[in-house]
Amino acid sequence: MDVKEEKKDKSMLKGVLCIMLAALGFSLMTFFVRISGDVPTMQKAFFRNAVAAVIATVPILKSKDKFHIKKGCFPDIAFRCIFGTSGLICNFYAIDRLGIADANMLNKLSPFFAILLSIPLVKEVPNLIDITATIVAFIGALFIIRPGGDVSVFPALMGLYGGFGAGTAYVFVRRLGIKGERTPVIVLCFSLFSCLVTLPFLIFDFHPMSVRQWLCLIMAGACAALGQFSITTAYKFAPAKEISVFDYTQVIFAAVLGMIFLNETPVPLSILGYVIIIGTAVARWYYLRGK
């Protein structure tokens, strides 16, 4: 193996480790949000983002450019904040009412939404494989949502929108990356915007929290920040087509946490949905690596 290939393999390994660390971070965020108990969704969202905002501020204060949005990036940051915040709130709503593995899986439909939205927003036209993968993934989502007119379907649909909001936000993050905007600035803008949106609910409907609930929400914010920075770092080491499939380990981490600590066992139809969606992601990843 020559030096160039060895360097590429090391970068690939670092990318895989970082994206799996991000998956662990996000699954732990989901877990801590869930065990924080009967705290309103908006209150959970506020504290999750407040902690992430503090963490994102540190590298900005240390940089020579401080806080500065590049010219032409403001509209993309605004849309990233709007879709990211609405998706986050819906995801938290679903986490409180579904099994955490189900909620994580619905959120992991975001790459497939990103494929569709990249057409008008980034001018990236998907090929037949991408289109087929997206259709099959949504079929898998139906096994998790299990539409049948039951009231419990609503949290699943909220979780589905959470995946849509995240996927749309990621497309705008990609646009910002192309324009050279810094990661801490993107994270801080998103976190501050989310805090502003949820602050009125916190003021007018604040529920007193125990020390345990405070600690859970602080940990949720810290784990979310770990996830955000790790996934951004991962894509600096290796291209998305080579490592993105490892992000689905988040569902495995979430399922294990749910089974061990929350006594949650996914129903057979949900497991079938996981297999379809993850299998589709693996097949698409295998195809892209071969190109």
| b/e sequence 189-206, b meaning 16+ C-beta within 10 Å | bbbbbbbebbeebbeeee
* Res. 236: pLDDT tops 80: no
**Averaged pLDDT, 228-242:** 73
The residue behind tokens 């008008």 is 120
- pLDDT-based confidence at 2, cuts 50/70/90? low
**What is the percentage of the chain residues whose pLDDT exceeds 70?**
93
Could you read off the pLDDT of 75-95 as tens digits, one per residue?
Answer: 999 999 999 999 999 999 998
pLDDT at 44: 93
Distances 46 to 50, 182, 186 between C-alpha atoms, Å: 6, 23, 17
- pLDDT-based confidence at 241, cuts 50/70/90? low
Distance, in Å, from the CA atom of 162 to the CA atom of 144, rounded to the nearest integer, reads 14
pLDDT at 148: 58
**What is the percentage of the chain residues whose pLDDT exceeds 90?**
28
Contact 12, 239 (CB under 8 A): no
Could you read off the pLDDT of 32-47 as tens digits, one per residue?
Answer: 999 998 899 999 999 8
Using a CB cutoff of 8 Å and minimum separation of 24, what contacts does 284-288 make?
A: 284/129, 284/130, 284/133, 284/245, 285/241, 285/242, 285/244, 285/245, 287/129, 288/241, 288/242
Distance, in Å, from the CA atom of 20 to the CA atom of 230, rounded to the nearest integer, reads 9
Q: Would you list the domain boundaries of the chain?
A: 51-206+240-289
Give alpha helix (H) positions in the chain. Answer: 3-35, 41-62, 74-97, 100-107, 110-121, 128-145, 153-178, 183-204, 211-237, 240-243, 249-261, 268-289
